[in-house]
Amino acid sequence: MSVLGENTFENVLLKNQSVEITFGDGNKIKFEDCWLRDHCRCQNCYHADTFQRAKHILDIPDSRIGSFRFDKSELVIIWDDKHESSYSPDFLSQFDYTKWSNSRKLSPKLWAGPPVMEKVAKVQVNEFLNTEEGAKRVFQSILDYGFVLIEGVEPSLAGTEKICQALGGVQHTLFGGMWEFTTKAVHADTAYTNIALDAHNDNTYFTEAAGLQILHCLEHVNGTGGETLLVDGFYGATRLKEEYPEDYEFLTKFNVEAEFVETEHNHKYSAPVIRVNSDTQDLVQIRYNVFDRTAMAFEDGEKCRAYYRSLRNLGRYYQDPGNQWQFKLKPGTVLAMDNFRVLHGRTAFTGSRTLGGSYVSRSDWLDRARTLGLIN
């Protein structure tokens, strides 16, 4: 791929309502006239200071290319309504479809079980908060493995909040912004107890689940247990696709309804357990939480049985201890995990245990990763 500022125009051919451009890096791309007019970057067509289009799509003339001229560094199109548009080779050469669509793909590194412990990043809090290199390591670990550990954090909600802000900002939900939870039943949810919680994704009952879940064990005294378990939701879905393709197909299409119900709230949402990108079929999100499922009616017995068979077959990968990483979160270490991919749970515990943390929206953490140059 050419370095920015090095590509050139080598040849431009007018072909009916499109132009075929050969660039200095040897690549050839065909542009339709409607696309070229829409991407005129003159001050009447584009607000360069806000990166926004200046015209409604209905106000972009349906014009034809009258003539054009070019040299190595500029292509000028004179439209049949006399408007002139200038393009650089670096701008246009971005729009090779394969290169453009690949530049938007994420590349998760699937994992199964404890070996991930050696791969996931463990970043000191000052490195994360005060250096670009540290911030890049944090977000790259989330992009690669779906989670990261940040160490040396002040074991308080305030100390944890600094991490949540740096990850993209605190996402407010019915549970609050920054939350601390214990076995005090402040919400009608088993998280606010001391029982074991099998691996799950949070917020399957929200129209958009939290992007990241941040957990920090602030204290655990006079008791045992309360170990965290993580499993790669994308690994399980990939195994299901290989070994039970019809169940994978079902879970990418069938809408499973989930709920969160308490006195002041009644959330419901229905969506596939496995969400894939409709263009690339790449995995986008896992919404696996068998505890928050609502009681559903089924169109027929076949769908009902497919629902149970496929949720069980997928659940076996997630419940397999060989695919899980189980560890004890200790005060000072913050776990940030991608709630669109990694399932989490905990073992039962005794004693007094306080967890602090927050959610961070997917938009906000991807925004940080993008501004660090890690993704497009």
Name the residues that contact ligand AKG, by CB under 6 A.
191, 197, 202, 215, 228, 344-346, 355
Cα pseudo-dihedral 53, 54, 57, 61, rounded to 10: -120
Instruction: Tell me how far, at minimum, the Cβ of 352 lies from ligand AKG, in Å.
Output: 13
70 binds, among ligand M3L, ligand AKG, none (CB under 5 to 8 A by kind): none
Which residue intervals of 244-325 are DSSP H helices? Answer: 245-253, 301-319
362 binds, among ligand M3L, ligand AKG, none (CB under 5 to 8 A by kind): none
Distance CA 75, CA 322 (A): 58
Under 8 Å CB-to-CB from 107, ≥6 apart: which residues? 143, 144
- Residue pair 333/123 in contact (Cβ under 8 Å)? The answer is no
Q: Among all chains, which residue has been given the structure tokens 């806000």?
A: 50
| Piece of the chain touching ligand M3L by CB under 6 A; list 5-13, 173-181, 231-239, 315-323 | 173-181
Q: Among all chains, which residue has been given the structure tokens 């501004």?
A: 371
> Which is nearer to ligand AKG, 197 or 209 (by Cβ)?
197
The pattern of x and - marking residues 283 through 322 that bind ligand M3L according to CB under 6 A reads: ------x--x------------------------------
CA distances, 364 to each of 139, 170, 338 (Å): 12, 9, 12
Distance CA 215, CA 181 (A): 10
Distance CA 304, CA 97 (A): 41
> Which is nearer to ligand AKG, 55 or 267 (by Cβ)?
267
Structure tokens at 230: 């993580």
- Residue pair 317/110 in contact (Cβ under 8 Å)? The answer is no
Distance CA 289, CA 170 (A): 23
Instruction: Tell me how far, at minimum, the Cβ of 204 lies from ligand AKG, in Å.
Output: 11
> Which is nearer to ligand M3L, 144 or 202 (by Cβ)?
202
Binding residue for ligand M3L (CB under 6 A) from 145, 175, 250, 349? 175
Distance CA 153, CA 167 (A): 14
> Which is nearer to ligand AKG, 215 or 360 (by Cβ)?
215
220 binds, among ligand M3L, ligand AKG, none (CB under 5 to 8 A by kind): none
Distance CA 213, CA 199 (A): 14
> Which is nearer to ligand M3L, 40 or 142 (by Cβ)?
142
The pattern of x and - marking residues 99 through 118 that bind ligand M3L according to CB under 6 A reads: --------------------
364 binds, among ligand M3L, ligand AKG, none (CB under 5 to 8 A by kind): none
> Which is nearer to ligand AKG, 92 or 197 (by Cβ)?
197
Binding residue for ligand M3L (CB under 6 A) from 37, 137, 200, 368? 200
> Which is nearer to ligand M3L, 173 or 310 (by Cβ)?
173
Could you please report the per-residue DSSP string of 84-95?
Answer: EEEE-HHHHGGG
Q: Which residues bind ligand M3L (CB under 6 A)?
A: 175, 179, 181, 189, 191, 200, 202-203, 289, 292
